[in-house]
Amino acid sequence: MEQTLALPHGTLAWDDLGPHRGSVTVVLLHGFPHDRGLWSGQLSAHDTAFPGTRLLVPDLPGFGGSTPLATPGMDGYADAVVAMLDAAGVTQAVIGGLSMGGYVALAFWRRHPDRVRALMLMDTKAGADDEPGRAKRRELIATVQRDGIGALVDGLLASQLGPVTRERAPALVERVAVMLRRAPASGVIGAAQAMMNRPDSTGTLETITVPTLVLVGVDDALTPVRDSIAMSTAVRRSRLVTIPDAGHLAPLEQPQVVNAAIAEFLDVAVRPG
């Protein structure tokens, strides 16, 4: 199930589940500062939720089992994902990403459009950081350098999880805390720099010609529903799905509802094509 690849900068690790022949391949890219554990609700339900679908779920460079890039950036992350597709023998895939993973998915579309069968943009947005946003990234980097990732955990739990999860799902909150605490400082700092320097992808949206699922938790406080409405309006062949009782980590907070939305998207928008 776990696969690894030696790239010039180091190792890339991912989970590979499902049939290898004649199947649609779906790539799921985690956000910040997560790892492939973000997609545990999709990986564990894979057989029943997405029969006949191959799932490739990497740790982006700097997280989980993947070595950080020398110079982290959305383009470098996208190129690592294409190296994974090459190693897996996959020509085209549905590229899905949550938040930072969505920034990578948009970079992937710009750099490798012929490898994209469809896109799934979840709890994410197209715009770049503004100056106050960049100042917050600099603060976050300084905090991690001074005090370690542990100093971020409470704030991230409060901002990333919706109120329903925080109030009613203590075991899930603890699982997310464990995932956040294991994020390596080097990966976190690199990804924060990469996000701070990422380009504005608003203009990219109107270049997207493939079917696109835009999905967002109704209570997402970081990339609110209005960002998803704006993306879905700009992308020609898009469908917008909102997930009740979920915040910024909708696929982890409401896996069954999100899995049903992904499965329906794959059935309607992807398989017939």
Contact residues for ligand MLT, defined by CB under 6 A: 31-32, 99-100, 195, 222, 248
- At residue 109, φ and ψ (nearest 5 deg) are -60, -45
| Nearer of residues 101 and 211 to ligand MLT, judged by Cβ | 101
Token readout for 7 is 């790239």
Least Cβ distance, residue 158 to ligand MLT (angstroms): 13
| Nearer of residues 31 and 190 to ligand MLT, judged by Cβ | 31
Least Cβ distance, residue 70 to ligand MLT (angstroms): 21
Least Cβ distance, residue 100 to ligand MLT (angstroms): 3
In this structure, are residues 217 and 203 in contact, taking their beta carbons and an 8 Å threshold? no
- Whether the upstream peptide bond of residue 33 has omega within 30° of 0, thus cis, is yes
Of 62, 40, 8, the residue nearest 187 (C-alpha): 62
Q: Tell me how far apart the alpha carbons of residues 216 and 249 are, in angstroms, rounded to a whole number.
A: 9
Of 76, 74, 81, the residue nearest 58 (C-alpha): 81
Task: Report the residue number whose CB is nearest to ligand MLT.
Answer: 31
Least Cβ distance, residue 93 to ligand MLT (angstroms): 20
Least Cβ distance, residue 43 to ligand MLT (angstroms): 18
Q: What is the 3-state secondary structure (H, E, C) of 37-78?
A: HHHHHHHCCHHHHCCCEEEEEECCCCCCCCCCCCCCCHHHHH
Least Cβ distance, residue 35 to ligand MLT (angstroms): 12
| Nearer of residues 24 and 81 to ligand MLT, judged by Cβ | 81
- 24-29 and 2-7 strand pairing: unpaired
| Nearer of residues 18 and 184 to ligand MLT, judged by Cβ | 184
Q: What is the 3-state secondary structure (H, E, C) of 214-251?
A: EEEECCCCCCCHHHHHHHHHHCCCEEEEEECCCCCCHH
| Nearer of residues 126 and 210 to ligand MLT, judged by Cβ | 126
Q: Which residues contact 47 (CB under 8 A, 6 or more apart)?
A: 18
| Nearer of residues 138 and 237 to ligand MLT, judged by Cβ | 138
| Nearer of residues 12 and 191 to ligand MLT, judged by Cβ | 191
Least Cβ distance, residue 175 to ligand MLT (angstroms): 16
| Nearer of residues 100 and 183 to ligand MLT, judged by Cβ | 100
Q: Tell me how far apart the alpha carbons of residues 124 and 224 are, in angstroms, rounded to a whole number.
A: 8
Least Cβ distance, residue 51 to ligand MLT (angstroms): 29
Amino acid identity for residue 181 in this structure: R
